[in-house]
Each structure stands twice: as C-alpha cells, then as structure tokens.
C-alpha cells in the first residue's frame, strides 16, 4: 500500500525476522553460538582459556567464552571473577587437585 505521498507504508508490511546465527550447515555455527551464550560451568569456561585484549593503550584479559550466569568479572574493569551469591572473588587460574603418585589424595581432596 502507498501512503498519501506515494511511498510504501512500512506499517502495512510485517517486519522481517532477523537472525544473528549462521545457518545449520555453516562451519562456524558452533563458534558463533558459544560467543553469544555463556558457558555452563566455570570449569568449562576455564578450559577454553583467556586472551589478551588491547584498546586505547589499555590491556586486559578476557575469556574466550562468556562466564556462566552466576559469575561476573574477568573483563576490562576487573581481572578477578566474582560470584555474587557467595560473595567471593576468584583468580581466573584453574587449579587441579589430583592424586599423588602413590594413589593417595592430598589433604584438600580427602572426604
């Protein structure tokens, strides 16, 4: 339909649905999905690692994935990861507590 000026009226057309995701067959679909959605666990986030960013002379670290919903930080404002529910701050460095060579567990792992 045309309005009184002879131009097409935008209000008469249904809006097109835009998508930021690639098609299912696109080879980078999984990477795009992970960039948009947060990781499920902090362990999964730490496994992907950190990368260095620089802007206007400022340098900081960020994770390759978004932090899980319960966490914030590790961005331009703060290096630490903050868990609001427990009000704790964590360095973004994974610590692995494993069994000793003789099969025993360190004191922190004993139940």
19-54 pLDDT per residue, tens: 666 677 877 777 777 667 788 888 888 888 888 889
Percent of the chain's residues with pLDDT above 90: 8
Tokens of 101: 């060579």
Structure confidence by residue, pLDDT tens digits, 67-89:
988 899 988 898 899 998 899 99
Compute the distance between CA of residue 46 and CA of residue 66 in angstroms, rounded to an integer. 10
Q: How far is CA 14 from CA 1, 10, 17, 44, in A?
A: 12, 8, 9, 41
pLDDT at 82: 93
Report the SS3 class of residue 110: coil
92 pLDDT tier (thresholds 50, 70, 90): confident
Compute the distance between CA of residue 38 and CA of residue 31 in angstroms, rounded to an integer. 12
Identify the helix (H) or strand (E) that includes residue 46. Answer: helix 42-48
Report the SS3 class of residue 55: strand
């Amino acid at each position: 339909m045309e309005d009184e000026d002879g131009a097409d009226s935008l209000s008469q057309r249904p809006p097109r649905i835009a998508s930021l995701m690639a098609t299912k067959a696109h080879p980078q679909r999984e990477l795009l999905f992970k960039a948009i959605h947060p990781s499920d666990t902090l362990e999964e986030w730490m496994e992907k690692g950190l990368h260095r960013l620089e802007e206007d002379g400022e340098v900081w670290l960020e994770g390759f994935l978004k932090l899980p919903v319960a966490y914030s930080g590790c961005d331009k404002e703060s290096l630490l990861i903050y868990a609001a529910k427990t009000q704790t701050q964590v360095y973004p460095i994974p610590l692995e507590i494993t069994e000793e060579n003789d099969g025993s567990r360190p004191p922190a792992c004993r139940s």
